[in-house]
């Protein structure tokens, strides 16, 4: 291909994408995010159809991005990297969208063919709604597509991000925590202890079997013979980072306090952490154990729940739930021994950053940066 022909093709490509950008920016009747995703999907298709065949030639995407920047000063989101992300966005979802990947080049791009690109459909599925897909940003989609290869897992994180309105960094944490593989498998007795099956189902899906507590200072744990001291260190770390803990725990949790005092028949008792969950409409007592699961933990938690339900629970609230958070457990054994208890309880384990592979450690956001982000979000909400 001659140099002047290549320049003409690239000029045509720049003008085509530029026209699409201007059309999208001028249409204020629809959701900004939806229009952006539609635009990026169309641009991704256009780039895919021309670049994958080699028609544009090497370095075309970089050249197009640079030219767009010159012709539209202040334009954001159309770096060469993002243009490639748009191409991936289109290619990964084209099949689900029912889009035919027919070759359309700049050379024979008629008005009809151009219209066909920009009116192309985005994914529509019975598994997740159109609203869920459009309720998360392009950066969320890019993160999911880059980190997750399994289709069902991608759908899970789209729904999770939309339902819980997760920020980009929050979604990244949930992916690193591997929420997909730790959901709905918490050893529990919810099915036997809740009178309503719907409440039991919601409770099962609310808790994971393992939580990532990457903010724990592991150097302060496991260095003494006194297990109670280790558990106090664990509790203090969670209290001081309660926002991060709730982020790991899930949506709709409100922290009441640590060492929550309950008094029944003159017996003083203290629950390590007490929460209220708005969706489940119940108190949630969390007992922290720095070692391996023991059956005696269930008896202790059962007693706490009995007192909570008798003396603390409001008439309109559901029965309290208890969660034991320990370092390790035999799931089969826990499933066996927990079934005979008549209060809803579950057992989960936790990991600190020390327990994670180096690859995942590097992917974790800096905890100070995360704290600043949470504080910033809180100020905006306030």
Domains defined along the chain, listed by start: 3-165 (no CATH), 180-381 (3.40.1350.10)
Q: What is the pLDDT of residues 178-190, one digit of tens each?
A: 888 887 689 999 9
- Condensed to tens digits (0 to 9), the pLDDT of residues 216-239 reads 654 444 444 456 656 777 788 787
Which of 294, 309, 312 minimizes the C-alpha distance to 194?
309
Q: How far apart are CA 363 and CA 343, in angstroms?
A: 39
pLDDT the model gives residue 124: 55
How far is it, in rounded angstroms, from Cα 42 to Cα 79? 16
365 neighbors 172 (Cβ within 8 angstroms):
yes
Average pLDDT over residues 371-377: 50
Q: Does the predicted TM-score (pTM) go above 0.75? A: no
Q: Hey, what are 347's tokens?
A: 């057992």
**Rounded Cα gap, residues 344 and 193, in angstroms:** 5
Q: Find the range with the poorest average confidence among 67-81, 100-114, 136-150, 182-196.
A: 100-114
Q: What is the pLDDT of residues 8-26, one digit of tens each?
A: 788 888 888 888 777 766 5
């Amino acid at each position: 291909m001659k140099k002047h022909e290549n320049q003409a093709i690239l000029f045509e490509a720049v003008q085509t994408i530029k026209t699409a950008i201007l059309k999208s920016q001028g249409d204020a009747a629809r959701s900004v995010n939806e229009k952006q995703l539609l635009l990026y999907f169309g641009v991704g298709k256009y780039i895919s159809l021309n670049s994958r065949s080699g028609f544009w030639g090497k370095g075309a995407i970089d050249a197009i991005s640079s030219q767009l920047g010159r012709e539209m000063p202040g334009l954001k989101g159309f770096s060469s990297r993002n243009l490639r992300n748009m191409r991936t966005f289109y290619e990964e979802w084209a099949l689900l969208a029912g889009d035919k990947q027919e070759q359309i080049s700049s050379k024979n791009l008629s008005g009809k063919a151009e219209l066909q690109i920009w009116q192309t459909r985005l994914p529509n599925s019975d598994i997740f709604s159109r609203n869920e897909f459009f309720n998360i940003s392009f950066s969320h989609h890019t993160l999911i597509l880059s980190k997750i290869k399994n289709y069902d897992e991608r759908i899970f994180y789209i729904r999770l991000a939309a339902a819980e309105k997760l920020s980009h960094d929050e979604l990244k944490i949930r992916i690193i925590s591997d929420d997909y593989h730790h959901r709905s498998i918490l050893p529990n007795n919810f099915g036997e202890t809740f009178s309503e099956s719907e409440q039991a189902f919601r409770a099962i899906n609310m808790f994971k079997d393992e939580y990532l507590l990457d903010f724990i200072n592991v150097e302060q744990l496991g260095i003494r013979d006194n297990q109670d001291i280790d558990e106090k260190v664990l509790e203090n770390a969670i209290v001081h980072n309660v926002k991060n803990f709730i982020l790991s725990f899930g949506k709709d949790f409100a922290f009441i306090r640590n060492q929550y005092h309950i008094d029944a028949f003159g017996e003083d008792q203290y629950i390590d952490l007490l929460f209220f969950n708005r969706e489940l409409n119940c108190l949630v007592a969390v007992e922290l154990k720095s070692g391996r699961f023991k059956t005696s933990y269930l008896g202790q938690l059962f007693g706490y729940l009995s007192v909570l339900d008798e003396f603390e629970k409001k008439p309109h609230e559901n029965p309290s739930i208890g969660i034991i958070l320990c370092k390790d457990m035999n799931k089969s054994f826990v499933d066996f021994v927990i079934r005979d208890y008549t209060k809803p309880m579950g057992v989960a384990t936790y990991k600190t950053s020390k327990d994670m592979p180096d690859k995942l450690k590097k992917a974790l956001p800096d905890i100070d940066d995360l704290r600043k982000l949470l504080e910033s979000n809180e100020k905006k909400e306030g």
